[in-house]
Amino acid sequence: SQQGEEDPQALSIQEGENATMNCSYKTSINNLQWYRQNSGRGLVHLILIRSNEREKHSGRLRVTLDTSKKSSSLLITASRAADTASYFCATITSYGKLTFGQGTILTVHP
């Protein structure tokens, strides 16, 4: 079964709006990572948050982590059409293997 589960499965917004995606996981983690995948391409790492961190920022991205609820959220502020992509959370398991959720498909309309 998937360690990470994203919610919602799909999100459609207008340019300039904020987009929030959520991820839940099942077991204890060392860190949680978010990746973006443009259509037909590979995954690109966005941000990593460690288990002892609660919030992290990178440009227009804000990630939160609540280990008591085993959940994380990714917020993209002031979205752009170029942000249209699938977004995945991933958690680390043994030997540094990543377990991915099924992703959130974000569509940003110009």
Q: Which of 19, 21, 23, 43 binds another protein (CB under 8 A)?
A: 43
CB contact at 8 A, 13 and 109: yes
- DSSP letters along 5-68, please? EEE-SEEEEETTS-EEEEEEESS--SEEEEEEE-TTS-EEEEEEEETT-SEEEETTEEEEEETT
* Interacting residues with another protein between 16 and 35 (CB under 8 A): 30-31, 33, 35
Report the residue number, 22 or 102, with the smaller CB distance to another protein.
102
Q: Which of 10, 44, 81, 82 binds another protein (CB under 8 A)?
A: 44
Q: Is 67 one of the binding residues for another protein (CB under 8 A)?
A: no
Report the residue number, 85 or 103, with the smaller CB distance to another protein.
103
